[in-house]
Every structure is written in structure tokens, then in C-alpha cells.
Amino acid sequence: MSTTRSWSRTRSRHCALTFRGRSWFVEDLGSTNGTFLNGSQVDGTAALGYGDEIQVGEVRLRLERGRR
């Protein structure tokens, strides 16, 4: 799955979200202001759990389980 969304105050390649095995991961791509996971700055790659919040600039994303 790939999704693209532009926000005026966020770089176009700030972080990457990937799904490997059975888990989601977030990776900061060397952004100036950092990528944050639940309020802590991501250094490299971090595993995500349901309910986790990713912050990129003023944008916040929450990982939620979809309906089956």
C-alpha cells in the first residue's frame, strides 16, 4: 500500500511507513525537525503498535486496526 498527501509545512519525504512480516514500522528519512512516535523522537526505525501516534511537523497520524 502506498499513499501520498501533501501538507504545506511538511517535507515531501519526511518519514517512511512500511509493513514487514506482521508489523508496521516508521523510519525517519533524515528530516530536519524529526519524526516523533508517541512524543519521543524516532532515531532510525521504530516498530509501531495499534494506537501509536506519529507526528511529522504539525501533522499527527494514529495507527488503528481496521475492520475485518
34, part of any domain: yes
- What pLDDT does residue 13 have? 75
**In-domain check, residue 48:** yes
Residue 23 lies in a domain: yes
Please tell me the predicted confidence (pLDDT) of residue 2: 41
27 part of a folded domain: yes
Q: Phi first, then psi: give them for residue 43, nearest 5 degrees.
A: -110, 100
Domain membership of residue 57 (yes or no) is yes
In a domain, 10, yes or no: no
Q: How many domains does the chain have?
A: 1
> In the 8-state DSSP scheme, what is residue 67?
P
More confident residue, 26 or 2: 26
Question: Tell me: the pLDDT tens digits for 30-63?
Answer: 988 899 999 999 999 999 999 999 999 888 999 9
CATH number, position 33: 2.60.200.20
DSSP secondary structure of 1-53: -------TTS-TTSEEEEEETTEEEEEE-S-SS-EEETTEE--SEEEE-TT-E
Range of the domain at 40: 15-62
Would you say residue 6 has pLDDT above 60?
no
Contacts of 53 (CB under 8 A, 6+ apart): 37, 38, 39, 60, 61, 62, 63
